[in-house]
Structure 1
Amino acid sequence: MKSLGALVVSPAQCTVVTELMPGWGSLWAQRLRWQRGALENHGTDGTTPQTFRHWAQQRGIGYGVVALGAYLLLVLVMALSLDRWVWFPFWFGVGLLFMIERVLTVWRGGWRARLLGATLFPELLFSAFLCTVHTRGIVDIWLGREASRRHAPTPVAEPLDRPGAP
């Protein structure tokens, strides 16, 4: 529809629901399936006015892979090469801004969500996981590996507290 010039919008009442993956293996398969699908579609469709935004998102994810990898590598090099930890006020401030943003984002979840958000570690680990999935998708496509469409079915549960649900 977009390639024909249609404006595709979602109604304000629209909600998106996906299955909660029961484990890391299932989450890996789901995210790799999604990531490869996006990359393969972009490879097929090319860059057009309709796909430009999604191409930019994929490039942003690629930049995130490089940036997070470089950050973790530099932290490791610094930790191994120095006798003591060195605090850099600028980067401490950047980390503090990320922490404040995360706490405010999860504020409605209560004190446990705020405490977890303040640690930033779960988000950092999940980001590393997503970067690894993205890299694996690119490598698989580059090497011409056939995409696995495995899916771990889980029982379908009714959504909780959905507005307008009977």
Structure 2
Amino acid sequence: MALSNLDLLYRQVLVDYSQHPHHYGELSKRTGVAQGANASCGDRLTLNVLVSEAGVIADIGWIGQGCAIHQASASMMCDLVIQKTVHEGRQLIDQFLQLVQGANVAQDLLGETVLLAGVQQFPARVSCATQPWHVLRNILDEEEEVPHGRN
């Protein structure tokens, strides 16, 4: 069976992100950090976020290991949310999680992450794509509880 152009693009993007992850590394200055692990497949991630006093995700970085889907998702997520407000970040998380669960959502703000919508066909891989997003949600939930005005 021949692969469609979309399938080829999906695979090419995953391989590229796996070999060249974006925002990979710990931040020296951060306002939030959280970890996540996927016991079923071994994906692990530590996410660092720096939120400005204005409530903007000023910097974001991650370290970890996992499958190509996990690494691509973490990289795409970081690309997508950097320079967004905490509120906007939370909205993007909600949209992405709905997308990979098969919901019909507006995709125009999700950038390349829409390529990960195909994981819904493989239920065991959905957690690979969503785990970084859940970790970010944990950090951003805490950010909303902390009054801004830090140094």
Q: TM-score range by the shorter chain?
A: 0.3 to 0.5
Which structure carries more relative contact order (alpha carbon 8 Å, separation 6+)?
1
CA radius of gyration, larger in: 1
- Indicate the structure with greater helix content: 1
